[in-house]
Amino acid sequence: MDGKLKFEEDKLKGKVIVVSQKEEIFAENYIWNCKNKVVYGPILSRRLGKSLGINLFPSDFNICTFDCIYCDCGPTKRNTVNTYNFASMEKIKDELEHSFEHHSQNRTPIDYITFAGNGEPTYYPFFPEIVNFVLELRDKYFPQKPLAIFSNGTMISKQEVIESIEKLDERIFKLDAGDERTFKLISRPNNNVSFEEIVDRLANLKGIKISSAVLCSGIRNLGSLKNCGYIEALKKIEPHEVHLYSIDYPPAYRGIRRARVSKMLELGQYITSNMDIAVKVLRARKAWR
């Protein structure tokens, strides 16, 4: 991390900041409307600004190692995770090259290039090769633009996945619980991974950010997050930052409601009263589909 960025991050430590997105959202660019595209966007990300998304999965259904109750890509079909016929690496590379060239020629303004899409990016079988290829494309078409990933952390038991993730500039991992029961209730992992294992895996990575969805009525996790188990997990992981957000789009399952900003602020203050870390509360936007 360069010195200026580190200085900026240090200044925010111990603070809770509300992040609002005031610019207009172009719904047609979002993943729900671009599921057949490998490259979609740029979208307006509350965390990353103008983010050009990379989706390694097809549109049929969500391909993920989790089945989060609030997922904006719909329910995960559990019986497909080990059997799905993924798009070939050649096909993905072709589409990436074509889209990057297009956006470069059109001088599309972007702030980040981001692995996030219709499932867990690291679950794509050739994820390490694709990361290397995207780094080459970035250097060719968008030099200096940083790369980011949103991940649930389940695949970081694999050394080649860890090495690939370490090549990315901004690594944001989900942690939606502070205990095993709530982890199973909200994230619904489709393998036997436990809350403790996920925390241990995240603790092996340096310089990551943690992103926690907050649900405080219906099916909820607020009690689990505002608890010593979550704080202990954060202390073990030592992230640079914690992001708190709630849903502002139709979730995969019923019984989920958006948490108010005031509830997320209370949670943020609980976190900063227990550890010296920056917490960003991402204000919800309007529903757009």
Residues that bind ligand SF4 (CB under 6 A): 62, 64, 66-68, 71, 73, 76, 119-120, 152, 174
Comparison of 53 and 119: residue with beta carbon closer to ligand SF4: 119
Comparison of 83 and 144: residue with beta carbon closer to ligand SF4: 83
> C-beta of 137: minimal distance to ligand SF4 in Å?
24
Query: Is the bond preceding residue 42 a cis peptide, omega within 30 degrees?
Result: yes
Alpha carbon distance 140, 44 (integer Å): 24
Comparison of 122 and 164: residue with beta carbon closer to ligand SF4: 122
Phi-psi region of 49 (alpha: psi -120 to 50; beta: other; left: phi over 0): left
> C-beta of 193: minimal distance to ligand SF4 in Å?
12
Comparison of 56 and 110: residue with beta carbon closer to ligand SF4: 56
Alpha carbon distance 92, 56 (integer Å): 7
How far lies 78's CA from each of 61, 84, 255, in Å? 10, 11, 20
* Torsional sign, CA 7, 54, 173, 182: positive
> C-beta of 199: minimal distance to ligand SF4 in Å?
16
> C-beta of 20: minimal distance to ligand SF4 in Å?
22
Comparison of 57 and 230: residue with beta carbon closer to ligand SF4: 57
Helix, strand, coil content of the chain in percent (nearest 5): 35, 20, 45
> C-beta of 256: minimal distance to ligand SF4 in Å?
12
User: Residue 73 CA to chain centroid, in angstroms?
Assistant: 13
